[in-house]
Chains A and B, each alone.
Chain A
């Protein structure tokens, strides 16, 4: 351990009103704003520049709004429990602070579980683009969205591009009118008629690429926050014993980061799901 005393490690500086760590975390958050700023810029540029029909008119056509609403509530709750943990430390109640911290951690975990179900759902949902229109359910269509049946041959990925090779044929159950699944009759589409086939993963369209990149990066921030919270759940007691003030400050800084992650989601939710 170095023995150099760093000024304003605990004492707020009169100019900024913050101790070093808090000022540092705010600066870091400023850089994070620019990081997500670039991604929002990507979203705006690609969407404004897209030809009509390439982007869904409304995120709910593809994404699951009720689940995302639930997740928003979960994340907001985790934010309030985080700040409660800090408030408890300010009142010198270490025990209840650790309980609030644990609830925060569990909320974050719940958020990721919900996200996992949202993601896997997309990877099992397919779209087939056709070379020529064909009749499905009484309409001439150029593309079919739906789920592949169990009899449909397994899709193989191209080694060169990573995309699915065009299979010999697929059997697909088309979606209902409003994205509800599995109402129509399964259709068999020959490989010769298929222009492109993809699941609703990142490579499906610029919209889903943006969705997966933005929520994925946000998810990584959640994981990062969980690691830090877990660390304080485990060794918080030792730090608190050594210096209650230092521990309170660290939880405050963790909280600032955590609220920022919440804040990003508050913007991601309407932008990706509701527009």
Chain B
């Protein structure tokens, strides 16, 4: 454990004395761990996106060899450069898994949470620095485990990111590796969430009461509770599926099961496939809020700073996000309307689903009203944050028909669902993540990212991401089913397939649009314009620390005198009052 009383002098210069491997690899500093999470998660984000780009080729040009990379893929995945069905399934399952569990959650919680949260609460580090390091390395091992599954016999998990049994129990050994990887990732998230909650509750700076916390911290706190209480049931479900696969139990295998025309008489039967779905969605619905809440937090910070106004309805935002977190535990079975779980449950979950949309709308409304009457600074982080609002609104509103049992009958398992979910996470969460990267880059490196390249990144991304996902709503309403290897079999060359091509081109162009970001990221890291500790003239505590903050974060322990968003306070000489500066009467 760190923190010996006898060593309490000496502060940050010790950070520079550490050997390379303690400073950059097995670091216990929350900032380095945050950076490790961010970089690893961005790499996984890129990898997950690549899988999808290859799948989009098969969808647009079924049966044609994939240009450039098709010849390098293994025989199990692509025969003569043409993506095979099993390869398509594996890519689909792994795209979902990687994006959700290895890219977005580690980026939003592990990356931004780790770096920003201790700074914003005025703490010198996380409550358990070694546990923090362990969370990262367990996550890393989980990621490596997932990736190795591509190289084992039978290929990676191919039963969808939801891994529904009985299919997943009969699947090849890639599924076992998937389950082991998931157990590691869940463990990592649990360790992380304990750390976040303890840090937020116990290590807030003097004067930083709960209602003076930046909204980002609130979002992270609620997210941590979701991870803490929703992830263990999936861990249990993972253990049960491992038992089904390895020990021959029948937790999810019903009696009288026939597989490949063979009656499975060697099994005891008596299990329930619906049990998996209940346990899976008990996590996976809160997981959606794990994906979106940190994004809302980031967007709130960026909007408050760049509107030079306090957030409209800070307390409503806080109460909404708490209510959102609470409700997210009791809506899970709206993913299961079509399973025949019975009308009692469907009706109950339909009602709770409608209820949960209320706090989401409150959050969005508060953020939009915050813009009213502001003279907005249209810098790159703000553009991404502004784009988040309508994109998340589209994603959220298109979810309502899926939450109503009647309309879900038509829309379930179609491209409409994919469109809805991706509007929430891709132009929603990922745009917020970009906003966060542009916004906090000066804190991490002491340099600003290029505004020109930033805008060159934003505008094409904004256009093309809509080109990718907007057609899916129409395709879904036309009845196009998801997870199909060859859509032309269902569509017979109808207009919906033209939209598929449009989506595919959108995806490839979206990839091109990320080049300015990658160039900007590395260029600015070394050559970007040097800025002082508070380049955005922001109020929250992270800007009170030097850029980059040294080991131990603050030169002197901050004391907080006011709320998080004291912008444009009448009668002040400056248009912002940082939290750590005492307000003169």
Interface residues of A (CB under 8 A from B): 1-9, 13, 15-16, 18, 20-21, 23-24, 27-28, 30-32, 34-39, 41-42, 45-46, 49-51, 54, 158, 161-164, 195-196, 198, 201-206, 209-210, 212-213, 217, 246
Q: Which of B125, B230, B231, B233 contacts A4 (CB 8 A)?
A: B125
User: Which of B128, B237, B271 contacts A38 (CB under 8 A)?
Assistant: B237
**Contact yes or no, B248 A163, CB < 8 A:** yes
- Residues from chain B with a CB closer than 8 A to the CB of A23 are 197-198, 201-202
Would A54 and B270 count as touching, CB distance under 8 A?
yes
- Which of B8-16, B455-463, B475-483, B490-498 faces chain A? B8-16
Nearest B residue (CB) for A19? B202
Query: Are B248 and A202 neighbours in the complex by a CB distance under 8 Å?
Result: yes
Given the known interface contacts A8-B202, A24-B198, A163-B266, the answer about A2 and B249 at a Cβ–Cβ threshold of 8 Å is: no
Chain A residues closer than 8 Å to B128, beta-carbon distance: 20-21, 24
Contacts of A164 in B (CB 8 A): 266
A2 touches B28 (CB 8 A): yes
The answer to whether A41 touches B249 (Cβ under 8 A) is no
Q: How many whole Å from B250's CB to the nearest CB in chain A?
A: 6
Please report B residues at the A interface, Cβ cutoff 8 Å: 1-5, 7-8, 10-11, 14, 28-29, 123-125, 127-129, 131, 190, 193-195, 197-198, 201-203, 228-233, 235-237, 239-240, 243, 246-251, 255, 265-268, 270-272, 275, 278-279, 282, 551-552
The chain B residue sitting closest to A21, CB to CB, is B128
Contact residue among A3, A162, A213 (Cβ-Cβ distance under 8 Å from B240) = A213
A202 lies within 8 A of B247 (CB): yes
Cβ contacts under 8 Å, B129 to chain A: 2, 4, 6
> Are the C-beta atoms of B124 and A5 separated by less than 8 Å?
yes
Is the beta-carbon distance between B198 and A196 smaller than 8 angstroms?
no
- Contacts A6-B203, A23-B197, A203-B247 known; list 15 others, CB within 8 Å: A1-B4, A2-B28, A2-B551, A20-B127, A20-B203, A28-B190, A35-B232, A35-B236, A37-B232, A41-B278, A42-B279, A45-B275, A163-B266, A206-B250, A209-B268
Collect the chain B residues with CB atoms within 8 Å of residue A16's CB: 201-202
Is B1 a contact of A9 with CB atoms below 8 Å?
yes
List residues of chain A with CB within 8 A of the CB of B246. Answer: 162
B229 pairs with A34, CB closer than 8 A: yes
Are A204 and B282 in contact, CB atoms less than 8 angstroms apart?
no
Q: Are A42 and B236 in contact (CB under 8 A)?
A: yes
Which residues of the partner chain A approach B552 to less than 8 Å between Cβ atoms?
3-4
Given A13-B201, A30-B229, are A203 and B249 neighbors across the interface (CB < 8 Å)?
yes
Determine how close the nearest CB of chain A comes to the CB of B163; give it in whole angstroms. Answer: 15
**Residue of B202, B251, B275, B279 with most partner-chain A CB within 10 A:** B202
A6 and B195 within 8 A (CB): no
CB neighbours (8 Å) of A210 from chain B are 251
Are A6's CB and B271's CB within 8 A? no
Q: Which of B14, B194, B248 contacts A161 (CB 8 A)?
A: B248
4 A-B pairs with least C-beta separation: A38-B236, A209-B249, A203-B248, A38-B233
| A92 CB, min distance to chain B CBs, angstroms | 19
Of all chain B residues, the one with the shortest Cβ separation from A197 is B266
Instruction: Give complex CA distance A23, B197 in Å.
Output: 9
A125 to B514, CA, bound (A): 63
With a cutoff of 8 Å between Cβ atoms, the chain B residues found around residue A2 in the complex are 2-3, 14, 28-29, 125, 129, 551
Please judge, given known A-B contacts A27-B228, A42-B275, whether A7 and B203 are in contact too, CB under 8 Å: yes
Residues in chain A near residue B194, CB distance under 8 A: 24, 27-28, 31
In chain A, what residue has the closest Cβ to B224? Answer: A27
A35 to B243 Cα, complex, angstroms: 16
State the CA gap A18–B246 with chains docked (Å).
Answer: 42
Given A7-B123, A8-B203: A38 in contact with B551 (beta carbons within 8 A):
no
Chain A: CB-nearest residue to B231: A31
Residues of A within 8 A of B229 (CB): 30-31, 34
A202 to B247, CA, bound (A): 7
Chain B residues with CB below 8 A from A15, complex form: 201-202
Decide: A195 near B243, CB < 8 A? Known: A30-B229, A38-B279, A202-B249: no
> Is B265 in contact with A195, judged by CB distance below 8 angstroms?
yes
Q: Can you list 11 A-B pairs, Cβ within 8 angstroms, ordered by A? A: A8-B203, A24-B127, A38-B235, A51-B270, A162-B247, A163-B248, A195-B265, A203-B249, A209-B247, A213-B243, A246-B1
B189 to chain A, nearest CB (A): 10
Contact (Cβ within 8 A) A6 B190: no
**Residue among A15, A28, A163, A209 facing the most chain B CB atoms (10 A cut-off):** A209
Residues from chain B with a CB closer than 8 A to the CB of A163 are 248, 266-267
Partner of B3, one of A4, A13, A34, A46: A4
CB <8 Å contact, B3 and A162:
no
